[in-house]
Structure 1
Amino acid sequence: MFASSPCARLWTRFAPEPEKWAKGTWTIGANRVPFGPRAWQITFDATTPVELLRDVHTELLDLYHQDQLFEDATAPHEVYTPLLARGWSHSIKTDGTQTFHAPDGEGNVQHRYTAPTGSDPIWRAWAGYSREPLWQARFSSGAPTTLAAALTASLVSSEQLHRVVKDIPFFTRRHLYVASAAAQQLPSHSTPAQPPTAPVVGRTR
């Protein structure tokens, strides 16, 4: 599945790979000229929470309308300040990277503050173990810092999420809390759903 902007300089693509753990890849790419060399890209595993994808794509559309795909004034600290404000810890290595760790140990965001080499990402976020993450997002050199900030803001959002329990890895379920589903008014043409017989599982990102 592929979508491109009218100017053909910005595109987003989903390549499914159901036989693999990550189930496929979402890729956002930008070219300075239509069909020219890729200026930057962002990739997400298909297992990335849909809310993170939504929030990054929403910010992406705003940047496109403002013609700021290649000139971004957002400072790096705007990416990780929300994390520190929510109690994330911080570690720095001499290899030019700093990593922010969620209080529950299940989430991480890494920033390469020195010039990257090869395919090293400027920003990387993942859940679970670094070598075998449940999902990960990677921002190449040149990717707007604003989009990385949109990702971290979404990560620490207190918006309630709704999931089917079978879709939640077993070892992360200890971080869940149970909340009653909020009543929703359905369109007149829809058949009303039966009220839930048990509480709905939810969590905050």
Structure 2
Amino acid sequence: MPDTEEIDGDVYVSPRYLAASTYTGDPALEPLLALGFDLRHDDLGNVYVTAPDHRVRLGYLPEGDDDGLWRINAYKDSFGPPEWGVCFNDRVPTEFVRAFTTALAEAYERGPDAYLARPAAGVDEHDPFLAVVPVLKQGWEIDRPRWGVFAVQSPDGFAGLEFTTGDLDPETELTTRDARWQMWAGKSIDRPVWYATASTDTPVALLTAITECVADPAPLPRWREETFSYIKGMAQLTPILPPGPPAPTPLDVRRAAASRRPAALPAASVPRWSTTSRPALPRPRR
């Protein structure tokens, strides 16, 4: 866990996929802005971030038409339809969005062959199954089989991931939850606390960045008063205590003991008597 002096929150939320959003977009925007992406905003407070070559675009849309707070698209042709699109709703933990934008920034630096790499079954780092491996390593289990859907679920049943097979409508994938990939947390996929979707051609490395962050066993810090009641019923909240004083060293113990002893009187002020001492002689009378 990080140093408590740097933590923005007073409780740890575990498992982390129940932590919900921090309601600030800056941490997730930073990886792209560091590469020189252009940032603009409208009068409503929506933010638009565009790559220097206009082939990657991000929208942070608190005043959008639906609960899709984050929408990220990539293009082969900057004037054509998106090659892939990812959406995070308004309650996704911000750390998961940042994991995605960090991986996207790294892929963008490598070039179009990285951030437009299509998933391909059985092809090393482009195999779609690789995105599922991080959660399987944390004990997630294959969910009950459904026709055309591969699904895994967390051990507590409060989070899941689905991969839909077969043909899907590209426009529907970009505008609804009926996408190739979907992650969610809550009591059911039909009424999730949060969800994230990714269309068919989203690079596997970007999806894996999300699942690795979701699978991380470390809890996330949040403010208790801002934690939703439905999360409190499912998640474990652990107080973040301030750091205690350092343990005293043996030298500290000795110094403390010495400071509690009474100070010794000067030797000259202590009368010395013994049985052989002679009584004082009477003073002569005047």
Q: Structure 2 length as normaliser, TM-score?
A: 0.58
1:78 aligned residue: 130
Is the 2:180–2:198 Cα contact (8 Å) retained in structure 1? yes
1:36 and 2:80 matched: yes
Deviation at 1:91, TM superposition (A): 2.4
1:2 aligned residue: 48
Is the 2:88–2:196 Cα contact (8 Å) retained in structure 1? yes
Q: 1:182 to 1:5 in 2, by over 3 A?
A: farther
Per-residue CA distance 1:105-129 (angstroms, 9 max, x = gap): 1111111233334533111001112
Secondary structure of the residue aligned to 1:154 is helix
| 1:98 corresponds to which of 127, 141, 150 | 150
Give the superposed CA RMSD: 2.2
Secondary structure of the residue aligned to 1:166 is helix
Question: 1-side partners of 2:168 and 2:64: how far apart?
Answer: 31
2:247 aligned residue: none
Question: 2-side partners of 1:14 and 1:140: how far apart?
Answer: 18
| 1:89 corresponds to which of 125, 137, 141 | 141
Q: 1:114 to 1:19 in 2, by over 3 A?
A: closer
> Between Structure 1 and Structure 2, whose CA radius of gyration is higher?
2
2:93 aligned residue: 49
Is the 1:125–1:136 Cα contact (8 Å) retained in structure 2? yes
Secondary structure of the residue aligned to 1:16 is coil
Is the 2:117–2:202 Cα contact (8 Å) retained in structure 1? no
1:201 aligned residue: none
1:124 and 2:182 matched: yes
Per-residue CA distance 1:76-135 (angstroms, 9 max, x = gap): 221111111111110253421111111111111111233334533111001112122111
1:63 aligned residue: 107
Normalized per residue, which structure has more helix? 2
Is the 1:97–1:114 Cα contact (8 Å) retained in structure 2? no
Secondary structure of the residue aligned to 1:38 is coil
Percent of paired sites with the same residue: 24
Is the 2:72–2:85 Cα contact (8 Å) retained in structure 1? yes
Q: Which has the higher contact order (CA 8 A, sep 6+)?
A: 2
2:193 aligned residue: 134
Per-residue CA distance 1:20-41 (angstroms, 9 max, x = gap): 7x4x520000110222221110
Unaligned runs of at least 5 residues, structure 2: 1-46, 119-124, 244-286
Q: Structure 1 length as normaliser, TM-score?
A: 0.79
1:107 aligned residue: 159
Aligned length: 181
